[in-house]
Amino acid sequence: MSRIGKKIIMIPEKTTVAFADGIVTVKGPLGELSKKFERSIEVEVVDGTVVLKQKKENSNTALWGTYASHVTNMIAGVNKAYQKQLIIEGIGYKAEVKGAELVMGLGFSHLVNMTIPADIKVVSEKGTVTVSGIDKEKVGQFVARIRAYKKPEPYKGKGIRYSDEVIRRKQGKKAA
């Protein structure tokens, strides 16, 4: 039995949740999200709450909890946007937003251009890049793709890291 799947999910004011044909749609003040769910999980919207149930006992228990987390994240996202922050460290490392692209200078012989998805907002300030949006998965995936271009190295800490990430430093070579 899934502990997360058993929990009743409360729907805040100004938010609506609908389930039809295996698709859950959540509308809120910031926008609308929809996600297709497998038919083995049943979603019921009753009196301002969402209840997820398994159609067959002991089938897809993992999906039950996963789908409950998805619905919770969708409800939270349409009410308050998810936000992740990256810190860019290194001499000559920089990032700036030009139209619908994020242009980064990361020590390569060329600039790195990334197209920003339509439903994600990117703000670049000195040494930091802030990514925000209503879909937690898209925000996390986009931030991970940015970080993958230049992961932080352990000697000087140069690279792109999350704002709450701690880099374990190594000592380096010693002079004889």
More confident position, 172 or 17: 17
Q: Residues of 60-70 as b/e, b for ≥16 C-beta within 10 angstroms?
A: beebbbbbbeb
Give tens-digit pLDDT for 123-148.
Answer: 999 989 999 999 999 999 999 999 99
Q: How does the average pLDDT of the chain come out, rounded? A: 90
Residue 124's φ and ψ, nearest 5 degrees, are: -115, 120
**Structural domain spans, the chain:** 3-79, 82-162
Per the structure block, which two tokens stand in for 31? 């926008």
- Specify the CATH number for 82-162; select among 3.90.930.12, 3.40.50.300, 3.40.190.10, 3.30.470.20: 3.90.930.12
**Chain segment 73-121, per-residue pLDDT in tens:** 999 999 999 999 999 998 989 999 998 999 999 988 999 999 999 999 9
d(CA 75, CA 11): 7
- Architecture field, domain 3-79: Alpha-Beta Complex (3.90)
